[in-house]
């Protein structure tokens, strides 16, 4: 009889705890109302990052609990903090086109990205996601004020790790940024004559690789990139052609203006500080 009751109690305990374990396993993210990084009973968990963002209120923190692979881009139109919590956001399954995998959009919208995780737009043949992280239409993105996120742009022609577009501003304080397959670590594009895009780099490590535009690309109209600090390298090192493109070139800094669009100002990359590894302006800077 005693053995029967012990067995029964074990079964009851397993059954009682099963829903809790299952629920925890399905929570991709939660809204961290008290900012302690621990999901309390009163804090809501969500099975997708999109659901967590949709249900967050202004100034909330969305806290990742596990790696997640997105199937569509996420647009954020409110001021929140995204804590990567050492997890990975992967865009390898995204279909369709978007300016970014994570997009902050709208006047007075601020997205803070913290936590030592990663965001990777992971270009694939079925999508045209231009960047991993994008600020547009008056929004501001701050990256790495507390921890060191990693933002990649892999295997995509003209793919961008961090992108300021159409009155967007990106401030980078720390983190690791890498672009491969013809991409660039940071880019700014104002596009319209009355739109300005700004990237301010205060720190971080930037590596450009594989025949791309390297670490900083001020692309055409009203594009401004200001470098105050950070470590910059481009591998393999390329050559420069002032008159146009040099096949196989990998530029560390790239300042571009389309000759057919003279009504718009130049793009500008301005360097105030930072460490440039194996950098030779005659070989690794492009001005057109």
- The tens digit of pLDDT for each residue in 169-216 reads 999 999 888 877 667 788 888 777 678 899 999 999 888 765 555 777
**Residue 139's pLDDT is what?**
97
Does residue 251 belong to any structural domain of this protein? yes
What confidence tier does 14 reach under pLDDT thresholds 50, 70, 90? very low
- Quick: pLDDT tens for 81-121: 999 988 999 887 787 778 888 999 999 999 999 988 888 87
Contacts of 210 (CB under 8 A, 6+ apart): 180, 181, 182, 250
Report the candidate in 116, 59, 54, 57 with the shortest Cα–Cα distance to residue 83: 116
Query: Which range scores top for mean pLDDT: 127-136, 147-156, 271-280?
Result: 127-136
What would the mean pLDDT of 32-58 be, rounded to a whole number? 82
Residue 20 has pLDDT above 80, yes or no: no
**Residue 23's pLDDT is what?**
40
Does residue 52 belong to any structural domain of this protein? no
**Residue 210's pLDDT is what?**
59
Residue for token digits 């390898």? 92
Does residue 74 belong to any structural domain of this protein? yes
Q: Which domain holds residue 210?
A: 67-287
Residue 278 has pLDDT above 70, yes or no: no
Q: Compute the mean pLDDT over every residue in the chain, rounded to the nearest whole number.
A: 75
Does residue 101 belong to any structural domain of this protein? yes
Q: What is the pTM of this model?
A: 0.80
What would the mean pLDDT of 54-72 be, rounded to a whole number? 91
Report the range of poorest mean pLDDT among 14-23, 76-85, 253-262.
Answer: 14-23
Does residue 108 belong to any structural domain of this protein? yes
Residue 281 has pLDDT above 60, yes or no: no
Does residue 91 belong to any structural domain of this protein? yes
What would the mean pLDDT of 21-48 be, rounded to a whole number? 72
Query: What CA–CA distance (Å, rounded) separates 40 from 234?
Result: 44
Contacts of 107 (CB under 8 A, 6+ apart): 137, 138, 139
Query: What CA–CA distance (Å, rounded) separates 41 from 244?
Result: 60
Strand pairing class (253-256; 184-189): unpaired
**Residue 223's pLDDT is what?**
86
Query: What CA–CA distance (Å, rounded) separates 38 from 32?
Result: 7
- Quick: pLDDT tens for 218-255: 776 688 889 899 988 876 554 433 334 444 445 667 66
Report the range of poorest mean pLDDT among 122-131, 218-227, 277-286.
Answer: 277-286
Do residues 226 and 200 touch, judged by C-beta distance below 8 A? yes
**Residue 265's pLDDT is what?**
54
**Residue 117's pLDDT is what?**
86
Q: How many domains does the chain have?
A: 1
What confidence tier does 259 reach under pLDDT thresholds 50, 70, 90? low
Does residue 15 belong to any structural domain of this protein? no
What confidence tier does 142 reach under pLDDT thresholds 50, 70, 90? very high
Report the range of poorest mean pLDDT among 6-15, 34-43, 54-63, 74-83.
Answer: 6-15
Does residue 4 belong to any structural domain of this protein? no
Do residues 46 and 66 touch, judged by C-beta distance below 8 A? no
């Amino acid at each position: 009889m005693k053995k029967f009751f012990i067995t029964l109690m074990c079964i009851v305990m397993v059954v009682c705890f099963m829903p809790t374990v299952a629920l925890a396993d399905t929570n991709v993210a939660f809204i961290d109302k008290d900012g302690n990084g621990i999901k309390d009973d009163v804090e809501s968990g969500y099975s997708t990052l999109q659901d967590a963002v949709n249900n967050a209120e202004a100034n909330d923190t969305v806290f990742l609990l596990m790696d997640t692979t997105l199937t569509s881009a996420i647009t954020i139109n409110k001021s929140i903090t995204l804590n990567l919590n050492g997890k990975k956001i992967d865009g390898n399954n995204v279909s369709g086109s978007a300016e970014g995998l994570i997009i902050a959009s709208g006047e007075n919208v601020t997205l803070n990205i913290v936590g030592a995780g990663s965001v990777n737009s992971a270009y694939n043949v079925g999508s045209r996601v231009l960047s991993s992280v994008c600020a547009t239409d008056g929004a501001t993105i701050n990256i790495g004020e507390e921890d060191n996120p990693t933002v990649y742009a892999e295997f995509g022609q003209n793919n961008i790790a961090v992108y300021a577009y159409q009155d967007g501003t990106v401030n980078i304080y720390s983190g690791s940024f890498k672009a491969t397959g013809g991409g660039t670590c940071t880019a700014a594009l104002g596009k319209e004559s009355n739109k300005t895009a700004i990237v301010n780099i205060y720190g971080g490590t930037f590596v450009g690789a594989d025949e791309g535009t390297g670490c900083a690309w001020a692309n055409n109209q009203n594009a401004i990139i200001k470098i105050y600090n950070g470590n910059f390298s481009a591998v393999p090192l390329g050559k420069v052609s002032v008159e146009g493109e040099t096949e196989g070139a990998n530029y560390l800094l790239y300042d571009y203006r389309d000759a057919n669009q003279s009504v718009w100002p130049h793009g500008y990359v301005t360097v105030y500080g930072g460490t440039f590894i194996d950098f030779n302006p005659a070989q690794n800077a492009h001005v057109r």
